[in-house]
Amino acid sequence: MSTETETPAPEQPESAETTEPRPNFMRLFGRYLIEANSVMVTIYSLVMAFFIGAVLLIVSDEGVRSTWTYFFARPQDALSASWNLVYDSYLALFQGAILNLNTLEAFRAGDVEFGNLLRPLSETLLNATPLIFTGLAVGLAFRAGLFNIGAQGQMIFGMLGALVIGFTLNLPAAIHLPLAVIAGAVAGGIFGAVPGVLKATTGAHEVISSIMLNNIAALFLVWAIGSQFLHSETKSELVTKPVNETATLPTLLSSFNPSLRVNLALLLGVAAAVFVWWLLSKSTFGFRIRAVGFNEHASATAGMRIGATYTTTMAAAGALAGLAGAALSLGVGASGITTNTALEYGFDGITVALLGRAKPGGIVAAAILFGALKAGSLSAQPAVPVDISILLQAIIVLFIAAPALVKAILHLRAPRGGLVTLEAKGW
């Protein structure tokens, strides 16, 4: 008791503060920069990740490494070779993710049309779309104190749910598409509710059960694709039937250039983020989620039903992950899904939620960053090893998850409210 009660009484520090000379904006901003608050930790984490990535690029390139062997004889060789390698690699990532400078030149010369310029951005956003949903799926559960590892499995079921409605029904697009999207959400939601129900009724830890459910979903997907009901009638490899034209998500920018694949799901993702924000901060359900997430005992004492909250939150999280699946199976170019379609979007959602600090706005930003890294690394191959992008993601998250590390390395000041470290209960 003494430790908490002997802290300065609330009134005093405030009154003392007002007597201090009022610092101007630049001073405040300067102080903000050297403080380990969550924004600056995120920025520094990015910078440090790219720095470490650069070191690894240099170390892993044999040509550059050899110039370091005679560093003391001719240091400029090693330095310029290293600089060039790092510069070229990161430039390639940039060109693949945001803007291709060669295309820009060609556009200036009038050789290509404007739409081509947007291609890297379109790819970035296309890759970001499922991550927004899975990030929200993990982030929402996080706020209820649940660690939803199961976004991958929920997404797979969402993918299948949307697919089945997408190719079995023949309806006008105005009905068919929403129906298929909803089917994805429902399938993911039902699958997501399972760990919630297990936790509420038997106390089974959601991490363990959702990890296992991921395996079940992944293997179920392999079996389902091969089943007669889903398997493509025209192709022999493991791929399903494509969804009907009426159930595909319309593209947003294909009027500029047909190669721009980003589709309506992006807007749905942003809308979902806004909805989750509203849910958490404005609704009574969100009030309950946050209360239970912070302190289930006090919530139970206040009459909230803890088990029901776990179940509904997990169902909602599953529905969000299911939407990621719908975005994949109803997206353009999804000529049926394969065992590869899901990639690791569900697992990456955990990272995205961490990076976005379980806040909807942060999750959207983090998803776009990861989408950019993915799009960049895909187009920069083989000049830049694809591992570098994965590595960058890993290092960024490592630093974000350990703000004390960033604070110590850069000798930052402690922020006012203390370091922000995300944690789910049971870990």
Partner 1 sequence: MRLELKGLTKKFGSFTADDDIDLVVEPGQIHAVLGENGAGKSTLMNMLYGILQPTSGEILIDGEPVDFSDPGEAIAAGIGMVHQHFKLVGPFSVADNVQLGREHTRFAGVLSAGAARRAVRDVSEQYGLHLDPDAICEDLPVGVQQRVEIVKALSGPKTELLILDEPTAVLTPAEITELLQIMRNLAEGGTSILFISHKLKEVQAVADTITVIRRGKVVAELEPTASESEMASAMVGRAVSLQVDKSAAEPGEPRLEVTDLTVVTDAGVKALDGLELTVHAGEIVGLAGVEGNGQTELARSILGLLKPDAGHIAIDGEDVHGRNPARRIKAGLGYIPEDRGRDGLVAEFSVAENLVLNQYRDAPFASSGVVNASAVDRRAVDSIAEFDIRTQSPDESASSLSGGNQQKVIIAREFSRPRRFLVAAQPTRGVDVGATQFIHSRLVAERDTGTGILLISSELDEIYALADRIAVIYNGRIVGEVDPDTPREVIGRLMVGGRLDDETDTADDEADSGPEAAAVVNDAEVETETETDVETSTETDEDANGGDR
Under the binding rule (CB under 8 A), the answer on residue 303 touching partner 1 is yes
Helix, coil or strand: residue 413: strand
Could you tell me which stretch among 109-117, 291-299, 350-358, 403-411 binds partner 1 (CB under 8 A)? 291-299
Number of residues that bind partner 1 (CB under 8 A): 38
- Amino acid making up residue 171: L
**Residues 13-32 within binding reach of partner 1 (CB under 8 A):** 13-14, 16-17, 19-20
Which residue's CB is nearer to partner 1, number 68 or number 287?
A: 287
Rounded to the nearest whole angstrom, what is the least distance from the CB of residue 425 to partner 1 in the complex? 13
We find the least distance from the C-beta atom of residue 423 to partner 1, in angstroms, to be: 12
What token pair was written down for 166?
Answer: 């997408």
Task: Calculate the alpha carbon distances from 420 to 47, 178, 242 in Å.
Answer: 19, 39, 45
Residue 298 interacts with partner 1 (CB under 8 A): yes or no:
yes
47 near partner 1, rule: CB under 8 A: no
Q: List C-alpha distances in Å: 407 to 286, 418, 422, 424.
A: 32, 11, 16, 22
Applying CB under 8 A, which of residues 219, 302, 394, 420 lies at the interface with partner 1? 302
6 lines the binding site for partner 1 (CB under 8 A): yes
Q: Which residues, including other chains, have CB under 8 Å from residue 99's CB and lie 6 or more apart?
A: 117, 120, 121
If residue 389 lies in a helix (H) or strand (E), which one and from where to where?
helix 386-401
DSSP per residue, 228-282? TTTB-SS-SSS-BPPPPGGGSPPBSSTTT-TT---BHHHHHHHHHHHHHHHHHHH
Site string for partner 1, 271-290 (x = CB under 8 A): -----------xxxxxxx-x
Pick the closer one to partner 1 by CB: 2 or 234. Answer: 2
Tell me how far, at minimum, the Cβ of 291 lies from partner 1, in Å: 5
Could you report how far apart the first and last alpha carbons of the chain are, in Å? Answer: 25
Which of 3, 102, 236, 255: binder of partner 1 (CB under 8 A)?
A: 3
Positions in 370-409 near partner 1 (CB under 8 A): none
Q: Is 291 in the site for partner 1 (CB under 8 A)?
A: yes
Residue with Cβ nearer partner 1 (14 or 387):
14
Structure tokens given for 290: 């946050």
Cis peptide before 382 (omega within 30 of 0): yes
From candidates 108, 297, 411, 416, binder to partner 1 by CB under 8 A? 297
51, 70, 71, 294: which one binds partner 1 (CB under 8 A): 294
CB of 27 to partner 1, least distance (A): 17
> Scanning the structure block, which residue is given the tokens 């403080």?
35
CA distance 153 to 166: 20
For the four alpha carbons of 373, 378, 381 and 385, in that order, the dihedral sign comes to positive
Identify which of residues 231 and 290 has a Cβ nearer to partner 1 in the complex: 290
Annotate 220-238 with three-state secondary structure: HHHHHHHCCCCECCCCCCC
Of 205, 235, 305, 425, which one interacts with partner 1 (CB under 8 A)? 305
Query: What is the per-residue binding string for partner 1 in 235-274, x denoting contact by CB under 8 A?
Result: ----------------------------------------
When asked if residue 8 is in the footprint of partner 1 (CB under 8 A), the reply is yes
- Interaction site with partner 1 (CB under 8 A): 1-14, 16-17, 19-20, 282-288, 290-291, 294-295, 297-305
